[in-house]
Amino acid sequence: MPAIAPRKAYRVGRSKTGLGLFATMPIKKGTRIIRYFGPILDCRIPEQDEIENKYLFELNGRWTIDGSVRKNLARYINHSCRPNAESDVRPRERKVFIRAIKNIEPGEEINYDYGTDYFKAYLKPIGCKCPSCENKRKKQRAEARAERAKVKARAERKAQKAGAKTTAVKKKKLNGKHFAGKVGRAKV
Ligand SMILES: [Zn+2]
């Protein structure tokens, strides 16, 4: 039997993207945190196959859990591309458990990877807001900023050099004129 987190090991709280599920005590790697549950839908029954919401968890080609029920607190768990938990799918038992794949600290948000189908359908069109993707974007923005600063500095140095050259050329010309004048005067 895996270690099972007590009911008070997590709570629903405010997350960056709405609500999320947060650890309230340390949860060890490998611990079964919570069950993802709801009515089991059979895709061979048309009325059940027609049900559509964001909380459907496909067990296999036939059975799907409709996790949209209020009591299913696991539905508050947000997606992450670098999660600290995973879904332990048991099609034969028609059960899904969310299990820690890292040691989770109190206050940390619990998340798991929703999988490519969900990602493509719901997250890719709006841009994934998970901490890992947000960090990636932040890094990219910082890199772009640094690159712009580098280009600007280079342009400024170039402009400064060009300015120095113009002054040098001007000085030479003035000297030349001055010299020519002298020569001219001497000739007269
Ligand atoms: Zn992401």
CA of 118 to the centre of ligand 1 (A): 12
Report the pLDDT value the prediction gives residue 188, as an integer from 0 to 100: 47
Report the pLDDT value the prediction gives residue 161, as an integer from 0 to 100: 86
For the beta carbon of residue 98, count every other beta carbon within 10 angstroms: 24
pLDDT by residue for the chain (188 residues), tens only, comes to 789 999 899 999 999 889 999 999 999 999 999 999 999 999 999 999 999 998 999 999 999 999 999 999 999 999 999 999 999 999 999 999 999 999 999 999 999 999 988 888 888 899 999 989 999 999 999 999 999 999 999 999 999 888 877 776 666 665 555 544 444 454 44
Q: What are the φ/ψ torsions at residue 28 (nearest 5 degrees)?
A: -75, 145
Predicted model pTM = 0.76
CA torsion sign, 15 to 51 to 72 to 98? Answer: negative
Report the pLDDT value the prediction gives residue 165, as an integer from 0 to 100: 75
CA of 21 to the centre of ligand 1 (A): 17
CA of 52 to the centre of ligand 1 (A): 23
CA of 127 to the centre of ligand 1 (A): 8
Residue spans of alpha helices (H) in the chain: 46-49, 116-118, 131-187
CA of 150 to the centre of ligand 1 (A): 30
* Exposure class string for 44-57: b at 16+ Cβ within 10 A, else e: eeeeeeeeeeeeeb
CA of 157 to the centre of ligand 1 (A): 40
In whole angstroms, what is the distance from residue 26 CA to residue 45 CA? 42
Report the pLDDT value the prediction gives residue 180, as an integer from 0 to 100: 46
Distances (CA, A) of 46 to 26, 40, 49, 174: 44, 14, 5, 93
Report the pLDDT value the prediction gives residue 122, as an integer from 0 to 100: 87
C-beta of residue 56 within 8 angstroms of C-beta of residue 42 = no
Structure-block tokens of residue 185? 């005067």
